[in-house]
Amino acid sequence: MEITKKIIENHGLSSKEYEEINKLLKRKPNLLELGVFSAMWNEHCSYKSSRIHLKKLPTKGKQVIQGPGENAGVIDIGGDDAIVFKIESHNHPSFIEPYQGAATGVGGILRDVFTMGARPIALLNSIHFGSPSHPKTKSLLNGVVSGIGGYGNCIGIPTVAGETKFHETYNENILVNAMAVGHVKKDKIFYSKAKGINKLVVYVGSKTGRDGIHGASMASAEFDENSEEKKPTVQVGDPFTEKLLLEACLELMKDDSIIAIQDMGAAGLTSSSVEMASKGSLGIELNLDKVPCREINMTPYEMMLSESQERMLIILEDEKEDNAKKIFSKWDLDFVVIGKTTNTKNLTLKFNEKIVGEIPVDALASKAPIYNRAWTKKKVSKNKFDLKKYKKVKVEEALLKILSSPNHSNKSWITDQYDQMVMCDTVQRSGSDAAIIRIHNKDKAVAVSVDSSANYCKAYPVLGGKQIVSENWRNLISVGAKPLAITNCLNFGNPENKEIMGEFAECLEGIKDACKFLDYPIVSGNVSFYNGTNKKNIFPTPVIGGVGLIDKLSNPINHKLKNEKNRILLIGKTFGHLEQSCFLKENFSIIDGKPPEVNLSNEKNNGLMVLNLINLGLVSSVHDVSNGGLIVALSEMSIGSNYGVKIEKSNKLRNLIEFLFGEDQGRYLLEIKEESLKKVIELLKKNNIYYEIIGITQKNFFEVEGEMKIDVNDLFKINNQWYNEL
């Protein structure tokens, strides 16, 4: 077949990239080889627009066992235990086919974790939808939530935490980011680097079908009005088969059979074989006649580009084939030797006893394009809108509007669809600052949380990047965990747009600065570009997934108020920053101005002090202050606890609205028993930590002195109103 300009374009390759392929091959590629290049050189697999910037991120630390470059990151949590975790996007597939797109996103991230030898112990998600009034939002929300729950529940992994947000920027391009966390013994971590010559390359798992062909390429392009036509590129998942695959792989990993193992994720058999060969500086020869297919007359092109789910590629040690085959037969899964490692450093593809494709591995991996795309620095808004008129609103009215809005309503309608307690190690589930998962049969646990802040990142990307990392840090601190490391999913628009590329570069600058200062390295992640439709790009939406360690699980802490007549302490200074706030957005539909400043020194000092107070047993409950300010945070502490609070007016600010709704960073709310108050204050003063006593807990009523008084039960009803009407 002649390779035409149209065929090249349909494969997501530019004319310059095609010329480079000809140079690398020293000839023109055939259609199969072009398809392989398309799969490996697309944005989703090659990171060609982001690699230059990603290199700047801090990825090392004494707690890091494996940083970026493997299926998932690995951190040391003491003893012989390690945690494996990663977050990835499945945005485009979930918009086209919500249930399967979300479900296979969960399946894919789980395989990344158990491929490393870890048993998955928790799932999280960050999902973003368009305006609640948009005609597609309800069906997309229902489909995605059902897909996440359907896959996670069936495979038996608890979905313990996440976030759901709505904004018109996602009307035609939703975001579905899935995170998985697993536990592994440090001497049983597996990697994807091929080693040795003439080692067996084995295909295991489900059969290959035609679903998902060009899925990775589709994820590397903007949508248009014909996006519905891309449904065949969406993978179809089977959680029951994945459960079998998980157990079979973990069983095989108990001995020394595996040299290397790789999930067949994006770009399927192509990416898995190329990545293994590239890391090992070897070649791989595949006999495509042997690939198990569930559809008749599949071509080599279809086999290599299929993204059918629940499949792995394994390189076996010598004389291990028979035992390995027995294990996979026991679990009723395909086990077929489809190739071998070679010293050629080529990907060699055979079909019907002929070589149908031969490509240097380096041409697909290390020699893939790297672009230093032009970008422009963000012009930060200098709008000086008059806040005076907005400060005249009644406190109660403003609060109730926020608590009843889709973004701040109780999300139990969603989380109730997820099994959060399966495996019986979930100590604290969704609804708190972070979920807590016990390390099985031990007195230690990990805390996990995901966070994003698109409006901050849009307004001022550098500050937005710092803020997301800092908020994630605070969320882990608030449940008594020492923050250890993060994974990130970087969701942005078209990188060929200078402004979008600028948002990306500057967000990463902020993320880098915060991670370095807080000793909070990035060990894994994903970049998702081209999130937009018809040239309309989403707001920059980097998502941070954090993992922290709780050494002793004797007294887990959360944000709910525990008793009456306890004091409420506010840690950190309040300046009353209202620009880019929930107060303005939910009450006046205003998104304008600069985000609040992020003082990393205060973040670190305040956080470590709060963690120390928790460990000393001096705190009854903790909640970080973020979106909505301290009054929204206090409301969340009150709702569901049967206790309210009386907030005393502050003399430190001119305006009550600023005090209550300002979104100044680095702050925590602490519930302190009267008998512990003196000791807490002594420690805060000794360490120069700024604090205010702002209120006292009480039964039944949530109150701002002289301004409002509302029954706690009414707060609960208002906070549940929106989702109950879905």
Residue-wise pLDDT tens digits, 11-48: 999 999 999 999 999 999 999 999 999 999 999 899 99
What pTM value is reported for the model?
0.95
Instruction: Report which residue type is found at 415.
Output: T
- Report which of residues 215 and 164 the model is more confident about: 164
Active site residue 90: yes
- Kindly tell me if the per-residue pLDDT of 385 is higher than 70: no
Torsion-angle region of residue 53: left (phi > 0), alpha (psi -120 to 50) or beta? Answer: alpha
Q: What per-residue confidence (pLDDT) applies to 224?
A: 53
State the pLDDT confidence band at 218, using cuts at 50, 70 and 90. Answer: very low
DSSP three-state, residue 328: helix
- Kindly tell me if the per-residue pLDDT of 237 is higher than 50: yes
Of 11, 53, 90, 577, which is the active-site residue? 90
**DSSP H helices in 55-183:** 91-96, 98-114, 137-155
| Measured distance CA(663)–CA(451) in Å, rounded | 16
State the pLDDT confidence band at 123, using cuts at 50, 70 and 90. Answer: very high
* Full 3-state SS string of 359-428: EEHHHHCCCCCCCCCCCCCCCCCCCCCCCHHHHHCCHHHHHHHHHCCCCCCCCHHHHCCCCCCCCCCEEE
- Kindly tell me if the per-residue pLDDT of 553 is higher than 60: yes
Q: Are 179 and 487 in contact (CB under 8 A)?
A: yes
Q: What per-residue confidence (pLDDT) applies to 726?
A: 64
Taking residues 245-258, what's their average pLDDT? Answer: 96
Q: What is the pLDDT of residues 166-177, one digit of tens each?
A: 999 999 999 999
Q: What per-residue confidence (pLDDT) applies to 231?
A: 47
DSSP three-state, residue 596: coil
State the pLDDT confidence band at 221, using cuts at 50, 70 and 90. Answer: low
- Kindly tell me if the per-residue pLDDT of 383 is higher than 80: no
Q: Which residues contact 386 (CB under 8 A, 6 or more apart)?
A: none
- Kindly tell me if the per-residue pLDDT of 650 is higher than 80: no
Closest CA to 493 of 221, 168, 226, 234: 221
State the pLDDT confidence band at 223, using cuts at 50, 70 and 90. Answer: low
- Kindly tell me if the per-residue pLDDT of 217 is higher than 70: no
Taking residues 414-438, what's their average pLDDT? Answer: 94
Of 388-392, 433-437, 442-446, 562-566, which range is least confident? 388-392
Q: What is the pLDDT of residues 659-670, one digit of tens each?
A: 999 999 999 999
- Kindly tell me if the per-residue pLDDT of 230 is higher than 80: no
Q: What per-residue confidence (pLDDT) applies to 649?
A: 80
Strand bridging mode 691-699 / 621-624: unpaired
Q: Which residues contact 539 (CB under 8 A, 6 or more apart)?
A: 167, 169, 454, 455, 457, 458
State the pLDDT confidence band at 125, using cuts at 50, 70 and 90. Answer: very high
Of 44, 92, 183, 408, which is the active-site residue? 44
Q: Which helix (H) or strand (E) holds 694?
A: strand 691-699
Q: What per-residue confidence (pLDDT) applies to 257?
A: 96
- Kindly tell me if the per-residue pLDDT of 401 is higher than 70: yes
Strand bridging mode 567-571 / 691-699: antiparallel
State the pLDDT confidence band at 380, using cuts at 50, 70 and 90. Answer: confident
For residue 519, give Cα distances in angstroms to 46, 346, 655: 28, 40, 37
Active site residue 214: no
Instruction: Kindly tell me the sign of the dihedral angle through the C-alpha atoms of 637, 640, 641, 642.
Output: positive
**DSSP H helices in 115-182:** 137-155
DSSP three-state, residue 150: helix
Dihedrals phi, psi of 390, to nearest 5 degrees: -80, -20
Q: What per-residue confidence (pLDDT) applies to 384?
A: 66
Share of residues in the chain with pLDDT > 90 (%): 88
**DSSP H helices in 137-238:** 137-155, 215-218
Dihedrals phi, psi of 487, to nearest 5 degrees: -120, 150
Share of residues in the chain with pLDDT > 70 (%): 96
DSSP three-state, residue 17: helix
State the pLDDT confidence band at 535, using cuts at 50, 70 and 90. Answer: confident
CA-atom Rg of the chain in angstroms: 26
State the pLDDT confidence band at 389, using cuts at 50, 70 and 90. Answer: confident
Taking residues 324-348, what's their average pLDDT? Answer: 97
